């Protein structure tokens, strides 16, 4: 690790430990020689870091991997101790909140879904969630000191420094000091982040994103987006991120949850698509759509995938049209931000037909955008817990070098 002005030896140690965690979280177990090469430090430095972290039980020594035919020094890999502590994660959506316990690799241990009670005041609802968290810990026989921290992911912009949800669209109208309210109940450190930023933190931490400049776009249920610049999630004025969903596209249609009319999101959210499917199923020639409707019920978020598979020319035209609208806005963002990669999240991008239409449209708009630039996140099936978990692992373990997380309880 290079010494720069303002760094003392203690700082350098924290940075080295922090880089070691980062490397192991993204790559899995590595030999000391490989760690030294990756971090550009001497093997002696790595040995000293590893000994200290092995002693604290933060790392584990893995068995020698059999590599027949290979001669020379043994490469004994070390890895992060994923069960050093657990993480509690809370993801709050308009209809429900998911409470989960994960290990440090964001592998799910247990979870419970509770309805989001919008009729309760935020402090009463959060107290209710805290109660359910305590029950979940109890059911899993986990004492509070086994929990590294509580990660919270909510919709809308978040002041992550103070843990305040600024405007959780469709959940809370006003700013809510989520961290303070939950820490008062749980007495465990809490970290709050916006849902999309948290997902990107997971992609950065667990090795999905390897490039420094990335545009992340989430399609479904709404439209979310974040830009990563120089390896860091970018937030600007009032903790806002790149919000492609609230691009103005035309002045007609439904009022957006942000309060404006004409936002892209109102044209191609899951709800907007379901409403259009319903309209199309009323057309004279829509026999296949109506047959499906009889079988699975009116189009909604839960059955939308089935509707998306139906072959019906007006449906195909509609899907191509919304894919084009999204492609235009993503293309414009690419022109502004010049990302190395574009990572795609969300249940609608998980649909192959929509993904294909979207790519077809964006390639037709801009030939400098090529297939290699796209990456579809594998984290969709884990989206209710991986983001909040990653935030805790990053802020309480990686960034601190694993040193003061135990001392970092609330005031
Ligand atoms: Zn909007």
**Which one of 80, 107, 138 terminates a domain?**
80
For residues 223 and 356, state if they share a domain: yes
For residues 33 and 72, state if they share a domain: yes
CATH number of the domain residue 199 falls in: 3.30.420.40
Measured distance CA(411)–CA(409) in Å, rounded: 7
Measured distance CA(262)–CA(256) in Å, rounded: 7
Ligand 1 centroid – CA 265 distance (Å) = 6
For residues 243 and 365, state if they share a domain: yes
- Kindly provide the residue ranges of all beta strands, DSSP E only, lying in 73-163, ordered along the sequence: 77-80, 86-92, 96-102, 108-115, 147-154, 158-159
Domain count of the chain?
A: 3
- The answer to the question of residue 411 being in a domain is no
For residues 324 and 294, state if they share a domain: yes
pLDDT digits (tens, 9 = 90+) for 348-388: 999 999 999 999 999 999 999 999 999 999 999 999 999 99
Ligand 1 centroid – CA 157 distance (Å) = 13
Q: 3-state class of 314 per DSSP?
A: helix
Length of the chain: 411
The tokens for 383 are 């989206």
Helix H or strand E segment including 18: helix 9-27
Calculate the CA 306 to chain-centre distance.
Answer: 26
Ligand 1 centroid – CA 251 distance (Å) = 12
Ligand 1 centroid – CA 258 distance (Å) = 4
Is the link from the previous residue into 239 a cis peptide, with omega within 30 of 0? Answer: no
Ligand 1 centroid – CA 20 distance (Å) = 41
- In terms of DSSP H, where are the helices of 159-223? 178-186, 195-205
- The answer to the question of residue 404 being in a domain is no
The tokens for 84 are 């050093």
**Which one of 31, 53, 80 terminates a domain?**
80
For residues 217 and 354, state if they share a domain: yes
The tokens for 31 are 């030999």
**How many secondary structure helices (H) and strands (E) does the chain include?**
13, 15
Measured distance CA(253)–CA(262) in Å, rounded: 7
Measured distance CA(178)–CA(186) in Å, rounded: 12
- Say which residue the tokens 């949800």 belong to: 165
- What is the model's pTM? 0.90
Ligand 1 centroid – CA 159 distance (Å) = 19
CATH number of the domain residue 62 falls in: 1.10.10.10
Per-residue pLDDT tens listing for the chain (411 residues): 555 555 677 788 889 999 999 999 999 999 999 999 999 999 999 999 999 999 999 999 988 765 555 555 567 899 999 999 999 999 999 999 999 999 999 999 999 999 999 899 999 999 999 999 999 999 999 999 999 999 999 999 999 999 999 999 889 989 999 999 999 999 999 999 999 999 999 999 999 999 999 999 999 999 999 999 999 999 999 999 888 999 898 888 888 888 889 999 999 999 999 999 999 999 999 999 999 999 999 999 999 999 999 999 999 999 999 999 999 999 999 999 999 999 999 999 999 999 999 999 999 999 999 999 999 999 999 999 999 999 999 999 999 998 764 444 343
User: Which residues on neighbouring strands pair with residue 79, listed in sequence order?
Assistant: 60
Decide if 327 contacts 358 (C-beta within 8 A): yes
Report the pLDDT value the prediction gives residue 411, as an integer from 0 to 100.
Answer: 35
Calculate the CA 312 to chain-centre distance.
Answer: 34
Ligand 1 centroid – CA 174 distance (Å) = 17
Ligand 1 centroid – CA 325 distance (Å) = 15
- The answer to the question of residue 30 being in a domain is yes
Measured distance CA(245)–CA(258) in Å, rounded: 10
Helix H or strand E segment including 254: none
pLDDT digits (tens, 9 = 90+) for 149-199: 999 999 999 999 999 999 998 899 899 999 999 999 999 999 999 999 999
CB-based burial of residue 311 (10 Å sphere; 0-12 exposed, 13-18 middle, 19+ buried)? exposed
Domain of residue 47 covers: 9-80
DSSP 261: B
- Measured CA to CA in angstroms, residue 102 lies from 39, 85, 148, 342, 361 at distances of 28, 9, 10, 28, 39
Q: Nearest to residue 354, comparing CAs of 379, 389, 318?
A: 318
Ligand 1 centroid – CA 273 distance (Å) = 16
For residues 172 and 274, state if they share a domain: no
Ligand 1 centroid – CA 264 distance (Å) = 7
Ligand 1 centroid – CA 314 distance (Å) = 27
Measured distance CA(201)–CA(221) in Å, rounded: 20
| Region class of 269: left (phi > 0), else alpha (psi between -120 and 50), else beta | beta
**Which one of 80, 104, 123 terminates a domain?**
80
- The answer to the question of residue 120 being in a domain is yes
- The answer to the question of residue 3 being in a domain is no
For residues 289 and 321, state if they share a domain: yes
For residues 151 and 109, state if they share a domain: yes
Report the pLDDT value the prediction gives residue 405, as an integer from 0 to 100.
Answer: 47
Q: Nearest to residue 82, comparing CAs of 214, 251, 205, 260?
A: 205
- The answer to the question of residue 75 being in a domain is yes
Q: 3-state class of 379 per DSSP?
A: coil
For residues 277 and 367, state if they share a domain: yes
Measured distance CA(213)–CA(228) in Å, rounded: 5
Helix 313-337 to helix 352-365 angle (10° resolution) is 50
For residues 18 and 50, state if they share a domain: yes
Phi–psi pair at 309, nearest 5 degrees: -90, -10
Give every CB contact of residue 368 below 8 A, 6+ residues apart in sequence. none
| Pairing assessment for the beta strands 190-194 and 147-154 based on DSSP bridges | parallel
For residues 46 and 181, state if they share a domain: no
For residues 44 and 144, state if they share a domain: no
């Amino acid at each position: 690790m290079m010494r720069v002005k303002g760094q003392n030896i203690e700082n350098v140690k924290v940075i080295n430990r922090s880089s070691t965690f980062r490397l192991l979280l993204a790559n899995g177990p590595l030999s000391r020689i490989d760690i030294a090469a990756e971090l550009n430090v001497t093997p002696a430095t790595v040995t000293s870091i590893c000994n200290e972290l092995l002693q604290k039980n933060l790392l584990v020594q893995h068995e020698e991997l059999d590599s027949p035919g290979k001669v020379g020094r043994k490469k004994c890999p070390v890895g992060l101790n994923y069960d050093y502590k657990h993480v509690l994660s809370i993801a709050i959506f308009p209809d429900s909140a998911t409470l989960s316990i994960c290990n440090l690799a964001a592998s799910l241990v247990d979870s419970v879904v509770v309805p989001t009670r919008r009729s309760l005041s935020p402090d009463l609802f959060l107290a209710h969630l805290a109660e359910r968290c305590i029950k979940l810990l109890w059911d899993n026989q986990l004492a509070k000191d086994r929990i590294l921290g509580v990660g919270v992911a909510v919709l809308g912009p978040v002041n992550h420094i103070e843990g305040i949800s600024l405007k959780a669209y469709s959940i809370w109208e006003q700013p809510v000091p989520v961290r303070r309210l939950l820490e008062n109940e749980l007495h465990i450190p809490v970290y709050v982040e916006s849902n999309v930023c948290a997902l990107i933190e997971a992609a950065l931490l667990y090795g999905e994103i390897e490039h420094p400049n990335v545009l992340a776009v989430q399609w479904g249920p709404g439209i979310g987006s974040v830009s990563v610049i120089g390896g860091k999630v970018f937030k600007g004025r009032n903790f806002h991120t790149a919000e492609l969903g609230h691009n103005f596209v035309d002045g007609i249609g439904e009022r957006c949850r942000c309060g404006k009319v004409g936002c892209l999101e109102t044209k191609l959210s899951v709800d907007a698509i379901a409403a259009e499917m319903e309209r199309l199923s009323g057309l004279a020639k829509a026999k296949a759509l109506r047959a499906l409707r009889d079988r699975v019920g009116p189009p909604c978020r839960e059955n939308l995938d089935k509707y998306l598979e139906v072959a019906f020319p007006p449906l195909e035209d509609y899907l191509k049209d919304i894919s084009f609208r999204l492609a235009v806005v993503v293309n414009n963002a690419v022109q502004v931000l010049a990302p190395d990669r574009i990572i795609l999240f969300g249940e609608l991008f998980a649909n192959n037909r929509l993904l294909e239409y979207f790519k077809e449209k964006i390639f037709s708009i801009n030939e400098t955008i090529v297939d290699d630039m796209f990456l579809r996140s594998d984290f969709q099936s884990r989206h209710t817990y991986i983001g909040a978990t990653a935030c805790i692992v990053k802020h309480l373990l990686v960034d601190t070098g694993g040193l003061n997380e135990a001392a970092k309880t609330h005031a």
